[in-house]
């Protein structure tokens, strides 16, 4: 983890420091901070950090998107920065005002995030077991099948116990008391009671009509199957946290150690079995039935909506409001046909990304897109979203359209999710009906993924072109982040070789030595810099002024042979607001090589505290095989500076 020590320190520093952090959790790709004051976080700085994909503020959380290394970065923050993990206890959290939707999303995500990895892994084991059984590789009566079933089922069977623990962190209740409530819901004797003699019926004539098999202090207990359930334990722990807090306030300190848990359990377990459990179960069944009912009215339209907007839900954390419905549908009805309509979005996204990989000549973009594509195959699409498609908005929209097509197809083919677990290609076995070993759902899922992938690829491949930064993009890069660079489409005509003359007189400076990481990295283009001794910029070739910044400190030129040139006088000189700069041309003017374009006052720039080093960049360098720059220590206006070779 040592390699992430600096990144961890920088992240904590720029979220406002340790004292601004209430708690920290993480999911598959994101660090999820709860901050006392998000206004203290340096969002722009974080977005520019190496190792950080982007920052998302949603659902009451400050989310720093890391990618596949998030677990290691999270561990390093806990180890080296003294930050408390998920469920941090702080009065500031209670005092911070939150919107109801933010509170709901924050609560659900906080409860599910810690168990998400094991939840998915267990589902993958269940899916693999079903797949092996469906193809008669495993005998369903054999020991191997039974042990595999134990591995896959154990977590789901005791899910109320695990959620009891994570919910206790969220609601600030004793972890072991909450787990004891969860354990009571899956206690084997409850199942035996349900199979026993029926004493009488209650709520007859209503949708809540139930058989009573046992009473507690003369009160009828409505027994239900709580294995794999979600809502009852969450509601029970919430109520339990209030009950525990009450007993803590009234029981003497001498007796608190055993008195509080004794009274809490003696109150909460009967209350859960008598009221909280049945009410929560009925509520969950109602929500699931409502969602399924809407789906049944128009499955295809529901699929288009969920599939098309799923990635947007994920970006804002809103999908956490839908995941419990998916799980509840599986528990209640044996399968979920509704929320699973989002399945195709993953493949639509990576279809777009693959098209970009094949078309782009930008090696930096390839370096981001290739690992993002590989992650996407296995269902982790956030690196693809934030690193590749979202910055190129129309390609993100294409992936959403592909997701909508996939959603409609899921509904049309009647694909259902029988097992919660696995992402991307690992989700295929989750479409096998474990009751009948029917594999048709898996094949239909493969069809959906292929169609969604093809749709994304087909939209992106013929339309993608590498972008070229404009001068305005340089200012954005200087003040915010290089990922927000505004671009102009490259229309280079292409020539075998073009020689660009030096627009300046002065000392040569290699691009990596430029005192600005955006220019030095080559992100905005390839070329060289000049430390000028004469305050003049002349045209490096015949062409046209395509961009002229109002302050006069930067100019963009397209030569008559197709090279696109950016000349940026000094570093951060935009802050001088044009003082010390005089332009002799206007945007759109035709120019001749050697023509005076801009005059600038070198001394005034230096006195203002800004470096005068001036990069001269070929921004459409991707159209050329090689960009060769002049050698030597000094250069004069009109000397050969850059050779662009096709």
What sign results for the dihedral spanned by CA atoms 184, 232, 430, 135?
Answer: positive
Provide the 8-state DSSP code for 352: H
Residues 498/562, Cβ–Cβ less than 8 Å: yes
Distance between CA atoms of residues 196 and 199, nearest Å: 9
* 27 included as an active-site residue: yes
Taking the CA atoms of the chain, what radius of gyration do you get in angstroms?
31
Supply 609's token pair. Answer: 């505290």
* 263 included as an active-site residue: no
Of residues 213, 319, 553, 568, which has the active-site annotation? 568
DSSP 572-597: SGGGGTTTTEEE---TT-EE-TT-EE
**Matching residue, tokens 């954005």:** 476
Phi, psi of 560 (to 5 degrees): -65, -20
Supply 441's token pair. Answer: 């759902």
Of residues 27, 263, 400, 430, which has the active-site annotation? 27
CA dihedral 430, 435, 437, 441 (to 10 degrees): -50
Supply 559's token pair. Answer: 């030569």
- The DSSP bridge pattern shows strands 200-202 and 210-212 to be antiparallel
Residues 566/474, Cβ–Cβ less than 8 Å: yes
Contacts of 553 (CB under 8 A, 6+ apart): 568, 569, 570, 573, 574, 576, 578, 581, 600
Residues 469/566, Cβ–Cβ less than 8 Å: yes
Q: How many helices (H) and strands (E) are present in the chain, helices listed first?
A: 23, 24
Distance between CA atoms of residues 450 and 224, nearest Å: 41
Distance between CA atoms of residues 216 and 210, nearest Å: 16
Q: Which residues are known to be catalytic?
A: 27, 568
């Amino acid at each position: 983890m040592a390699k992430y020590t600096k990144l961890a320190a920088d992240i904590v520093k720029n979220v406002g420091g340790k004292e601004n952090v209430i708690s920290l959790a993480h999911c598959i790709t994101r660090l999820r901070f709860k901050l006392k004051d998000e206004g203290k976080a340096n969002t722009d700085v974080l977005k520019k950090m190496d190792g950080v994909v982007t920052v998302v503020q949603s659902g009451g959380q400050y989310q720093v998107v890391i990618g596949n290394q998030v677990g290691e970065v999270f561990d390093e923050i806990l180890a080296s920065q003294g930050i408390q993990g998920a469920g941090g206890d702080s009065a500031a959290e209670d005092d911070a005002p939150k919107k109801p939707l933010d509170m709901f999303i924050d609560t659900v995500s906080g409860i599910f995030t810690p168990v998400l990895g094991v939840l998915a892994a267990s589902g993958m084991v269940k899916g693999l077991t079903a797949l092996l059984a469906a193809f008669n590789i495993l005998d369903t009566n054999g020991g191997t099948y039974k042990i595999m079933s134990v591995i896959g089922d154990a977590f789901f069977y005791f899910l109320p116990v695990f959620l009891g623990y994570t919910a206790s962190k969220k609601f600030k209740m004793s972890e072991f008391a909450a787990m004891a409530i969860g354990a009571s819901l899956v206690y084997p004797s409850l199942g035996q009671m349900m199979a026993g003699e029926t004493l009488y019926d209650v709520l007859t004539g209503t949708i809540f009509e139930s058989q009573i098999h046992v009473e507690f202090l003369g009160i009828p207990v409505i027994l239900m199957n709580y294995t794999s359930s979600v809502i009852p334990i969450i509601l029970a722990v919430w109520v339990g946290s209030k009950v525990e807090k009450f007993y803590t306030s009234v029981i003497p300190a001498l007796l608190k150690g055993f008195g509080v848990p004794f009274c809490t359990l003696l109150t909460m377990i009967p209350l859960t079995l008598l009221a909280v459990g049945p009410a929560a179960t009925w509520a969950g069944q109602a929500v699931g039935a409502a969602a399924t009912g809407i789906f049944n009215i128009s499955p295809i339209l529901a699929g288009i909506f969920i599939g098309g907007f799923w990635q947007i839900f994920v970006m804002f954390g809103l999908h956490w409001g839908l995941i419990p419905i998916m799980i509840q549908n599986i528990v209640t009805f044996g399968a979920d046909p509704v929320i699973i309509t989002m399945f195709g979005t993953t493949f639509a996204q990576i279809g777009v990304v693959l098209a970009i990989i094949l078309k782009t000549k930008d090696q930096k973009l390839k370096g981001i897109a290739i690992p993002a594509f590989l992650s996407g195959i296995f269902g982790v699409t956030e690196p693809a979203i934030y690193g590749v498609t979202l910055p190129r908005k129309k390609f993100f929209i294409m992936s959403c359209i592909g997701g909508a097509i996939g959603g409609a197809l899921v509904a049309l083919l009647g694909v259902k999710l029988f097992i919660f677990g696995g992402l991307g290609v690992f989700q295929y076995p989750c479409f096998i009906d474990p009751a009948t070993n029917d594999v048709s759902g898996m094949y239909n899922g493969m069809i959906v993924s292929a169609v969604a992938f093809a749709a994304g690829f087909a939209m992106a491949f013929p339309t993608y072109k590498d972008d070229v930064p404009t001068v305005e993009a340089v200012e954005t890069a200087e003040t915010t982040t290089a990922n927000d660079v505004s671009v102009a489409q490259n229309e280079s005509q292409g020539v075998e070789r073009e020689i660009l003359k030096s627009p300046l007189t002065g000392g040569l400076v290699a691009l990596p030595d430029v005192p600005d990481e955006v220019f030095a990295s080559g992100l905005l283009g390839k070329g060289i810099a000049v430390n000028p001794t004469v305050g003049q910029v002349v045209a490096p070739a015949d062409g046209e002024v395509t961009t002229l910044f109002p302050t006069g400190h930067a100019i963009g030129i397209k030569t008559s042979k197709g090279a696109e040139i950016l000349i940026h006088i000094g570093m951060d000189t935009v802050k001088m607001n044009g003082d010390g700069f005089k332009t002799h041309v206007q945007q759109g003017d035709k120019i001749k090589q050697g023509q005076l374009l801009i005059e600038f006052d070198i001394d005034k720039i230096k006195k203002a505290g800004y470096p005068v080093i001036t990069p001269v960049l070929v921004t459409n360098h991707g159209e050329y095989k090689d960009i060769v720059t002049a050698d030597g220590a000094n250069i004069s206006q009109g000397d050969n500076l850059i050779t662009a070779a096709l």
